Structure 1
Amino acid sequence: MTAQTSLSPASTAAPTPAASCGSPAAAGKPTCPVDAVLRLLMGPWTTYILYVLRTQGPRRFGELKREVTGISAKVLTERLRMLEEAQLVRRDYQATIPPQVTYSLAPRGAELTPLLDMVKDIAIRWQSEDAQPVRQAAE
């Protein structure tokens, strides 16, 4: 996905037709910019990979595979390629023997840091709330 998406609060002006969150555009593609970002992030393992890179820093493939528990090498490769294409992840290749490839957040991926942190905070709060015993309605 190569569409430019801005999540900055500076874009609080009235939405233009191309940026409105309404019915699909003539070509059948959604025109809502929020939809485009969420579709990118909702792919399997995507937020997990971004979160690991955000919290652990640059990682080589094997390190990422160990830290993203349960992901297969094939799926990790696909996700990293997709994230690189979307300019969220940077792939740094060093022609050594053996070759070294390191993945890190690209500037666009780093822009998602506040969003990932907010989602993490909500998830922790919800887990805590869900762990509380359910109160009886009769009380």
Structure 2
Amino acid sequence: MARGDLFAAACPSRAVLQHVTSRWGVLVLATLLVEGEQRFSVLRRRIGGVSEKMLSQTLKELEGDGFVLRLVQPSVPPQVAYRLSPQGRRVAALVRELVDWIEASMPAIEQARSLQPARVAAALK
């Protein structure tokens, strides 16, 4: 199987990149990496602001890419949980590193944001 080329317009790896780096994809991967196997309702509560529809869609995309495993436990009613596959743990670790960097860098990012209006005004002079 050939390696993907993200810079090629028709490369299917672009869809995988979108699934992994979308707002909800990042949060699902990071949550499952840190907290382990989770039921849908627990994931939804943990990931503030995600709708049921978006969480369901994100989980299906990540499952389709082989990063998330959907586990149906035989009970009445059936209980469904999600966990990372081995490949999912690898990509989630990379995503988690980015998440950690962003969280640690927020003071500098906020400072840069506060200076932005002055930069724009100076550029317009």
- Kindly indicate whether structure 1 or structure 2 has the higher relative contact order, using CA contacts under 8 Å at least 6 residues apart: 2
Query: In the superposition, relative to structure 1, how do residues 92 and 20 fare at CA in structure 2: closer, same or farther (>3 Å)?
Result: closer
Partner Cα separation in structure 1 for residue 89 and residue 62 of structure 2: 12
Percent of aligned positions that are identical: 28
What is the DSSP-based 3-state SS (H/G/I as helix, E as strand, rest coil) of the residue aligned with 2:95? helix
Structure 1 match to 2:28? 49
* TM-score normalised per structure 1: 0.68
Shift of 1:125: 3.2
Structure 1 match to 2:11? 30
- Unaligned 5+ segments in structure 1 are 5-15
Aligned length: 115
What is the DSSP-based 3-state SS (H/G/I as helix, E as strand, rest coil) of the residue aligned with 1:84? helix
Partner Cα separation in structure 2 for residue 109 and residue 67 of structure 1: 19
- Contact 2:68–2:88 at 8 Å: present in 1 too? yes
Query: In the alignment, residue 11 of structure 2 is paired with which amino acid?
Result: P
Query: In the alignment, residue 93 of structure 2 is paired with which amino acid?
Result: P
Shift of 1:62: 0.5
2:46 equivalent to 1:70 = no
Structure 2 match to 1:122? 101
- Name segments (4+ residues, structure 1) moved above 2 Å: 18-24, 35-40, 130-135
What is the DSSP-based 3-state SS (H/G/I as helix, E as strand, rest coil) of the residue aligned with 2:49? coil
What is the DSSP-based 3-state SS (H/G/I as helix, E as strand, rest coil) of the residue aligned with 1:83? helix
Query: In the superposition, relative to structure 1, how do residues 112 and 96 fare at CA in structure 2: closer, same or farther (>3 Å)?
Result: same
- Unaligned 5+ segments in structure 2 are 116-125
Shift of 1:38: 2.2
* TM-score normalised per structure 2: 0.74
